[in-house]
């Protein structure tokens, strides 16, 4: 009996251990919410949530089941825990924002997915967003309508413990009227509210949804004929009604809003806080898109600082679309591709400005005559060559970023530029310093390899270490006395570096 009891005890412990290893973040720590200080996202038990995202804008439309599984497995292995995707992705997302070589399919707003199913009733170019095309009898594994496949994607993310930042609508094509095919699909708040309620009701029991109420929106510039903010706000109202069953207004303080986590994705070089303010109770997170041009590479730091300092109200700052790795610029100012270093600078600058999250992307395109890449499905080109992009250098560097942030308690960081006495540079090559609120550690990001004079502001002596963002390796940098200033240059052969004092 004693031997049998011991065996049962060991078996129970093994089963408990396996359960813990396979538990999802929401099972272990509860749903997501905004922290009490407003500057980061956390679980309901107080565990900080680090948003490391990947863009797969067209995944719902262009990704097969096998594509989705391959992509998610790869991204999870790299430390990515949030995938940003548009629930219905048009053939052409920006109309006349494309190079002249790409003309086919412009204006198709209700395209079929890879299984031949459209999201809405209506024709290819005139979808009815109040009438999703639902055909009974299908399943996520054997879909007979568009939404069966959408359910498959949500399920696969959930199985992997990953979050879906679900973009409900791509505003340039459906609301703001940018580019060709300018007809507005969501031309009234009522249409947006109905579709939002459909989505909220369908996914109300899914614990891994973060709602991005609008994608790439610019209410001030894209469509000056109508005020589009009420349409976006109605989408949020519809979602919360679908999730909670309660009818609440976008500016009404209500417990129902606590059951959803919402943000919006703005057009380039802006924050969603430019367009929606303190009255927008639905908005939980300030998301930026910091842009793709050479003259916007300073914005990851500057826009994140601006949102962090915005106290009306305080919201977490997430860079939802930074400089893509491998990007060939739209404009003729440069035909050079974004290097891993330039992509890496954008996510390090975001976090060293005390951001709460960053979403990575990759773009492989020709500057003239063709245009594929991330607009299709995180680098999925029609010929399948996207698979080689999944292991691009900066994508692999995300795991080292997560290592650095977690080990150094990123949620406690405060900016400390005063600790850089000389050589701090500016703009895209700004050296950025942070210090823990409890003085536990200080870090300085070097985006290039020249010297800077750093002062130990921890109030005590400290040991200094170099961290290599390309591989996670470390190198000793010596000891620092309390208040000591010293000129330091990263190790030879590195591209960028982080100095850690603790």
- Does 19 have pLDDT greater than 70? no
Rounded Cα distance between 55 and 69, Å, is 15
Rounded Cα distance between 431 and 60, Å, is 39
pLDDT at 366: 28
Q: Which of 36-40, 215-219, 336-340 has the lowest mean pLDDT?
A: 336-340
Strand partners, 476: 465
Q: What is the mean pLDDT of residues 306-326?
A: 95
Q: What is the mean pLDDT of residues 412-427?
A: 98
- Does 127 have pLDDT greater than 50? yes
Rounded Cα distance between 28 and 281, Å, is 28
Which pLDDT band, with edges at 50, 70 and 90, does 368 fall under? very low
Q: Is the dihedral of CA 245, 249, 251, 254 positive or negative?
A: negative
- Does 332 have pLDDT greater than 70? no
CA distances from 334 to 125, 292, 451 (A): 34, 12, 28
What mean pLDDT, rounded, does the chain reach?
A: 88
Which pLDDT band, with edges at 50, 70 and 90, does 92 fall under? low
Q: What is the mean pLDDT of residues 167-178?
A: 88
- Does 334 have pLDDT greater than 80? no
- If one compares 428 and 388, the residue with the highest pLDDT of the two is 428
- Does 370 have pLDDT greater than 90? no
Q: Please give the domain boundaries of the chain with CATH numbers for all domains.
A: 30-382 (3.20.20.80), 413-501 (2.60.40)
pLDDT at 407: 98
Q: What is the mean pLDDT of residues 214-238?
A: 91
Judging by beta carbons within 10 Å of its beta carbon (0-12, 13-18, 19+), is residue 386 exposed, middle or buried? buried
Strands 51-55, 357-360: pairing is parallel
Q: Which of 57, 60, 39, 58 is nearest to 48 (CA)?
A: 39
What are the residues whose beta carbons fall under 8 Å from the beta carbon of 421, sequence distance 6 or more?
452, 453, 454, 455, 485
- Does 461 have pLDDT greater than 90? yes
pLDDT at 6: 47
Rounded Cα distance between 115 and 109, Å, is 17
pLDDT at 21: 55
With both helix axes pointing from N to C terminus, report the angle between 229-244 and 189-202 in degrees, rounded to the nearest 10: 30
- Whether 370 and 385 have beta carbons less than 8 Å apart is answered as no
């Amino acid at each position: 009996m004693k031997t049998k009891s011991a065996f049962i005890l060991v078996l129970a412990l093994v089963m408990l251990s396996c359960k813990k290893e396979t538990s999802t973040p929401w099972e272990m720590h509860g749903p997501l919410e905004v922290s009490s200080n407003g500057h980061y996202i956390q679980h309901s038990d107080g565990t900080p949530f680090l948003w490391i995202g990947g863009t797969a804008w067209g995944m719902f439309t262009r990704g097969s089941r096998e594509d989705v599984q391959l992509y998610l497995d790869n991204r999870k292995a790299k430390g990515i825990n949030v995938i940003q995707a548009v629930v219905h992705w048009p053939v052409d997302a920006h109309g006349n924002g494309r190079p002249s070589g790409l003309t086919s399919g412009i204006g198709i707003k209700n395209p079929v997915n890879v299984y031949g199913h459209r999201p809405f009733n209506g024709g290819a170019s005139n979808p009815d967003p109040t009438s999703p095309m639902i055909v009974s009898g299908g399943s996520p594994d054997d879909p007979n309508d568009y939404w069966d496949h959408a359910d498959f994607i949500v399920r696969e993310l959930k199985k992997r413990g990953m979050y879906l930042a679900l973009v409900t609508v791509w505003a340039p094509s459906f609301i703001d009227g940018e580019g060709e095919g300018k007809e507005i699909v969501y031309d009234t708040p009522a249409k947006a509210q109905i579709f939002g309620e459909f989505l909220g009701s369908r996914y109300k029991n899914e614990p891994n949804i973060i709602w991005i109420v609008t994608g790439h929106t610019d209410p001030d510039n894209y469509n000056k004929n109508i005020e589009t903010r009420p349409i976006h706000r109605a989408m949020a109202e519809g979602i919360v009604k679908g999730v909670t069953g309660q009818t609440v207004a976008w500016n009404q303080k209500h417990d129902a809003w606590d059951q959803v986590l919402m943000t919006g994705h703005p057009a380039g070089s802006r924050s969603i806080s430019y367009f929606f303010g303190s009255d927008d109770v639905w908005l939980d997170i300030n998301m930026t898109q910091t842009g793709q041009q050479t003259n916007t590479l300073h914005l990851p730091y500057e826009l994140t600082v601006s949102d962090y300092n915005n106290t009306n109200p305080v919201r977490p700052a997430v860079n939802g679309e930074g400089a893509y790795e491998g990007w060939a610029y739209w404009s003729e100012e440069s035909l050079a591709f974004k290097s891993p270093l330039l992509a890496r600078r954008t996510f390090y600058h975001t976090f060293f400005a005390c951001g709460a999250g960053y979403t990575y992307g990759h773009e492989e395109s020709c500057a003239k005559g063709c245009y594929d890449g991330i607009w299709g499905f995180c680098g999925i080109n029609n010929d399948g060559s996207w698979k080689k992009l999944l292991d691009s250098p900066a994508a692999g560097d995300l795991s080292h970023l997560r290592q650095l942030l977690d080990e150094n308690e990123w949620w406690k960081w405060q900016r400390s530029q005063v600790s850089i006495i000389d050589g701090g540079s500016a703009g895209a090559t700004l050296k950025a310093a942070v210090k823990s609120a409890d003085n536990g550690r200080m870090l300085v990001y070097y985006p290039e390899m020249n010297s800077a004079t750093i002062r130990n502001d921890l109030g005590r002596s400290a040991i200094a270490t170099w961290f290599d963002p390309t591989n996670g390796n470390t190198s000793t940098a010596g000891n620092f006395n309390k208040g000591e200033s010293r000129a330091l240059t990263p190790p030879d052969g590195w591209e960028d570096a982080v100095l850690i004092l603790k």
